[in-house]
Amino acid sequence: MSDNTLSYDVIIVGSGAAGLGLALSLPDHLEIAILSKSSMSEGSTNYAQGGISAVLDDEDSLDSHQVDTIKAGVGLCHNDIVDLVVSHGKASIDWLMANNVQFSTSKDTHSKNKLHLTKEGGHSFRRVVHANDSTGRAIQTALNDLVVSKPNIKIFEHHNVIDLVTSDDKLSGQSAIAGCYVLDTKKDVIFSMKAPCVTLATGGASKVYLYTSNPDVSTGDGIAMAWRAGCRVANMEFMQFHPTCLFHPEAKSFLISEAVRGEGGLLILPDGTRFMPNFDKRAELAPRDIVARAIDHEMKRLGIPSVFLDISHRTAKFTKSHFPMLHERCLSFGFDMTKDPLPVVPAAHYTCGGVITDKNGSTDIAGLYAIGEVAFTGLHGANRMASNSILECLVFAKQASIDIPKFLKNSARSPNIKAWDNSKVIDSDEAIVVSHNWAELRQFMWDYVGIVRTTKRLQRAKHRITLLKREIEDYYGNFHVTSDFLELRNLVTAAELIIDSALLRKESRGLHYTLDFPDLDDKNFKKDTVLKP
Ligand code: FAD
Ligand code: SIN
């Protein structure tokens, strides 16, 4: 046992838009640690393509953005939170530009130098600000550069947070955050870090599925850690599947932005027929749950491995200038999108549920905040509208940055936390258990808890989770932990929360569709699914 505990005012777990947005908005006198389990840039933020929604067009209105968000969320959005987020759209874009993020401007002579706005599913107007088709990279790079230059911020790359440490506040009886245990994955040592305030900005849990647009870090760690520490979570049944990921054995579910459909891309069957108008009058630009389900339906009906996304009717100049990164990546897989329809399939993309927070990002544990995709704020309801996610990251980073200094002023320094005890565990000779269970979990989640569900399939998945949990607990008690093992442990927890929430919702709404209850049941289920540890 060793004690080399580090101490900070604020620990931020995660270095995507949410984590970096918070770090850069907190006052400079605070000592901040940012932990990232891979390199700083490796998170969903870096891969975001389409953009960020904000009302900037003269014809558009905040009301319209709110109505569209609420419509996509099928009755479950919290109106006060929608109002908060939507009304901070312009301010968030201004903040990014002030922090050196460069967005695409219009090529049209009438509106030259104005930001170019693209369109995506569910939006009634062009309101998506973007940096060509690599918006996330533009944000991540600019914010990385600023964060590394700040003397009050210490960055820990390749540091995987294992668990949160809490203590009971004797006066209030409420649980309070004290810090966390961290695995330095390069040196393979575990140490503790303490702080009166910890913020989870760990992203989503889409790696729980076999096919996902997300990078490897999206393993639901923040949701699982908060759950183990005693926080409530909500709406985990609403896992979003993006309709169009490239179907190619080496493409690893590479995303083809919804903006391609926003700029005229059509979904077609192998014989060239369009099918989306048969499912929704908004056709290719219906919200994602509808488009993904329609594709799944057509693939199953015809027994085909993919459908196709065709933008070849636009000029090559247009496509190359709007989608330079997509054009190049698709070429590397042998597809020229200026000429060929792209084979596409749905893949897991976004976690609408998460750790319950208030409007400041504060959770059930005093001093513990959750912002970005890890959080459940009430914005997305049963289905997130495209490009509302990075906006949510930035708005809640700002909200938390205002609340955290107030919280710190009124809170005592965090108590000492116990050093990590490694004395009773040995090196594992059973690493195969981890890789086998990882593959099994992701396969049965895809097969049984995917776009179309049934109670029987959910129960089957639940049964397998129970077995996996037993093996994981056994492993955790006996062996040195590795990053792969920690991620598996968190994925199993996230999967169980998804299945339990899905079993509770005996209706179909938004992203949760079950053949046993195919209709919307507003009378009994127009409410969030809240799980308590
Ligand atoms: P992330 O950016 O995912 O960052 C998570 C961070 O947490 C990482 O640094 C990771 O290392 C760290 N972390 C996780 N667990 C641990 C741990 N245990 N210990 C230490 N660190 C940990 N949304 C939009 O609004 N517009 C778009 O155009 C858009 N396009 C997208 C395209 C793709 C391909 C993908 C995958 C997503 C897209 N999204 C888009 C969704 C959006 O990108 C994400 O929801 C958002 O970026 C999440 O940001 P975040 O800061 O919450 O998490
Ligand atoms: C995309 O570009 O299609 C992704 C947008 C999003 O997930 O919000």
For residue range 406-441, what is the model confidence (pLDDT) as tens digits?
999 988 766 778 888 877 777 777 778 888 899 999
Collapsing DSSP to helix, strand or coil, 52 comes out as: strand
What global pTM score does this model have? Answer: 0.96
Give the integer Cα–Cα distance in Å for 355 and 366: 14
Q: Are 488 and 434 in contact (CB under 8 A)?
A: yes
470 catalytically annotated: no
Give the integer Cα–Cα distance in Å for 100 and 513: 42
> Which string of b and e fits 134-159 if b means at least 16 CB within 10 Å?
bbbbbbbbbbbeebeeeeebebbbbb
Q: Indicate which atom in ligand 2 lies nearest the CA of residue 350.
A: 7
Catalytic residue among 261, 288, 464, 509: 288
pLDDT at 218: 98
Please work out whether the CB of residue 49 comes within 6 Å of at least one atom of ligand 2.
yes
Please work out whether the CB of residue 257 comes within 6 Å of at least one atom of ligand 2.
yes
CA–centroid distance, 469 to ligand 2, in Å, is 33
pLDDT at 1: 43
Q: Indicate which atom in ligand 1 lies nearest the CA of residue 182.
A: 19
CA–centroid distance, 48 to ligand 1, in Å, is 8
CA–centroid distance, 388 to ligand 2, in Å, is 9
- Residue 254 has which token pair? 């590479």
Please work out whether the CB of residue 289 comes within 6 Å of at least one atom of ligand 1.
no
CA–centroid distance, 31 to ligand 2, in Å, is 34
User: What secondary structure letter does DSSP report for 255?
Assistant: B
pLDDT at 414: 66
Q: Are 443 and 209 in contact (CB under 8 A)?
A: no
Nearest residue (by CA) to ligand 2, atom 7, is 386
Q: Are 146 and 155 in contact (CB under 8 A)?
A: no
What ligand has the least distance to the C-alpha of 131?
1
- Residue 35 has which token pair? 């932990």
CA–centroid distance, 395 to ligand 2, in Å, is 18
Q: Which residues of the chain carry a pLDDT beneath 50? A: 1-2
Please work out whether the CB of residue 193 comes within 6 Å of at least one atom of ligand 1.
no
Please work out whether the CB of residue 16 comes within 6 Å of at least one atom of ligand 1.
yes
Q: Indicate which atom in ligand 2 lies nearest the CA of residue 244.
A: 3
What ligand has the least distance to the C-alpha of 51?
1
- Residue 165 has which token pair? 């440490």
